[in-house]
Amino acid sequence: MAISDTKARKAQPGEKPYRVPDSEGLYLDVRPSGKKFWRVRYFIHGKERIFTVGQYPVVRLAQAREERDWVKVTAARGVDPVEAYKAQQAAERSAAEDSFATIAMEWYSRQEAHWTEYYASQVKKGLEREMIPAFGHKHISQVTAADVLKVMRAAEERGAPTVANLVRQWCGAIYQYAASTLRAEHDPSAPLRRAVSKPPVRHARALTPEQLRELVVSIPEKGGYRLTQIAMEVLMRTMLRTGEMRQGRWEEIHWMRAEWHIPADKMKRRRPHVVPLPQQVVVLLQELHEYTGNGEMMFPGLRDPRQPMAKTTINGRLRHMGWAGLFTGHGFRATASTLLNQHGWRGDVIERQLAHTPGDKVRASYNHADYLDERRKMLQWWSDYIDALTLKRDAPPVPDRMSG
């Protein structure tokens, strides 16, 4: 007589295991512990085998009968259901371990140390917001060019063509990594290199001397918190990138030598960088130390002083000062480079202060402090020049041997 859910539920444990039969080999195995398991008797190659379906009541009677039918059909084809089930579980585990999401995050964790904080954050957002929600669940071998193109088109349609191209670029890097670990044989992003047009490169705008003066004199009045004002002044006078400056730590400042030693992991080119500090910057940092010197960060965030100033702070303040669409924090570097070149400073010295890596590999291998004396004189001249603009005085003379 076939079992019922009621009979299965009321089956009580005994001193020894016993079976409550259903039909066609399915039975409920009741253990002395009180646990109950659905099992199926079947024959494969003339030998009796037992297949465990699952525990009652997690697996209900109807589900148990469905599994019984699968067991019977599989065995009738000459395939052992136990072995078939193990193979299926192994395939599912492999699919989970080799999903796009798993391999993408593995790639990210291996590459993160080689990137700047900003770029690492950019990549992680691209993975978590763009690619993983769309096809992260798929096995790495099952992602198609159509999957990647759909994400790229969505980014393009919302006005972010740069993101669209970065998705393709990062996807290609992930598949290159997957191939190197023998988990992928094709790159679905490869045919999509020209699927989205790259936006024209917009170089940072350099200010004219008149515009620079206008900006400088407005900082004390419109520059927001004193911390933000100092940040803009330091950025303007050191030619640093915004991210390099705002991540500065007090331990990097060498007061006696008037130098800022920035470690390689904070630099875009992954080379340590020494910034000789003009007298005006030393004074600014001494004032800043009174405000933030008790912590590690030179320019701490307002919400969490253990973290650096938000990357949007300076550009947000410049917009508030009336420079929206005209000038950003990165433009301080372009302005310094343009005006220093116009006043005859040597191009190699300017490029080294900007921490641009020389194309010549031999030159790139030079000590990170190369041109330090010249750069010190140049930055002091640049800071004096800014002060002269503010006071409407003539620019200080450039030493003859420093010009290009």
For residue 59, is it within any domain? yes
Parent domain of 149 = 100-192
**Catalytic status, residue 139:** no
Q: Are residues 319 and 398 in the same domain?
A: yes
The length of the chain in residues reads 404
Let me know if 65 is a catalytic residue.
Answer: no
Tell me, what CATH number does 338's domain have? 1.10.443.10
Same domain, 146 and 232: no
Cα 93 to the chain's mean position, in Å?
A: 27
pLDDT for res 116: 74
Cβ burial 103-123 (10 Å sphere, 16+ → b, else e): bbbbbbeebeeebbeeeeeeb
Residue 264 lies in a domain: yes
Are 200 and 169 spatial neighbours (Cβ–Cβ below 8 Å)? Answer: no
Considering only residues 271 and 16, tell me which one the structure prediction assigns the higher pLDDT. 16
Residues 167 and 73 in one domain: no
Q: Are residues 281 and 350 in the same domain?
A: yes
Q: Could you tell me if 141 and 80 lie in one domain?
A: no
| Residues 24 and 115 placed together within one structural domain of the fold | no
Distance CA(389)–CA(351), nearest Å, equals 23
We report the CATH number of the domain holding residue 170 as 1.10.150.130
373 in the same domain as 276 = yes
- Please, which pLDDT band fits residue 354 given cuts at 50, 70 and 90? very high
Of the residues 39, 168, 183, 333, only one is catalytic, namely: 333
Residue 134 CB coordination number (10 Å):
17
Active-site option among 186, 268, 311, 343:
268
CATH number at residue 24: 3.30.160.390
Res 88: pLDDT: 81
CA atoms within 13 A on the CB side of 132: 14
Task: Kindly write down the DSSP assignment for every residue of 205-251, as one continuous string.
Answer: PPPPHHHHHHHHHHHHHHS-SHHHHHHHHHHHHH---HHHHHT-BGG
Domain count, the chain: 3
Whether the bond between 188 and the residue before it is cis, its omega within 30 degrees of 0, is no
Are residues 77 and 221 located together in one domain of the fold? no
Alpha carbons 98 and 183: distance in angstroms, whole number = 7
Domain shared by 278 and 152, yes or no: no
The active-site residue, picked from 139, 241, 266, 317, is: 241
Residue 311: per-residue pLDDT? 86
Q: What is the pLDDT of residue 369?
A: 52
Q: Are residues 378 and 269 in the same domain?
A: yes
Under 8 Å CB-to-CB from 395, ≥6 apart: which residues?
Answer: 343, 385, 388, 389
Per the DSSP assignment, residues forming a β-bridge with 40 are 26, 51
330 catalytic residue (yes or no): yes
pLDDT mean over 46-75 = 93
* Top-ranked range on mean pLDDT: pick from 89-93, 248-252, 354-358: 248-252
Any domain includes 200: no
Question: Do 345 and 404 meet the contact criterion of CB atoms below 8 Å apart?
Answer: yes
Q: What is the model's pTM? A: 0.56
Residue 147 and residue 66 share a domain:
no
In a domain, 248, yes or no: yes
Considering 7, 124, 186, 330, which one is annotated as catalytic? 330
215 and 254 co-located in one domain: yes
Catalytic residue among 125, 129, 150, 356: 356
352 in a structural domain? yes
- In this predicted model, what pLDDT tens digit does every residue of 332-350 receive, in sequence order? 999 999 999 999 999 999 9
Contacts for 364 with CB less than 8 Å, ≥ 6 apart: 357, 358
Residue 333 a catalytic site member: yes
Last residue of a domain, one of 192, 217, 233: 192
268 is catalytic: yes
Q: How many helices (H) and strands (E) does the chain have?
A: 17, 7
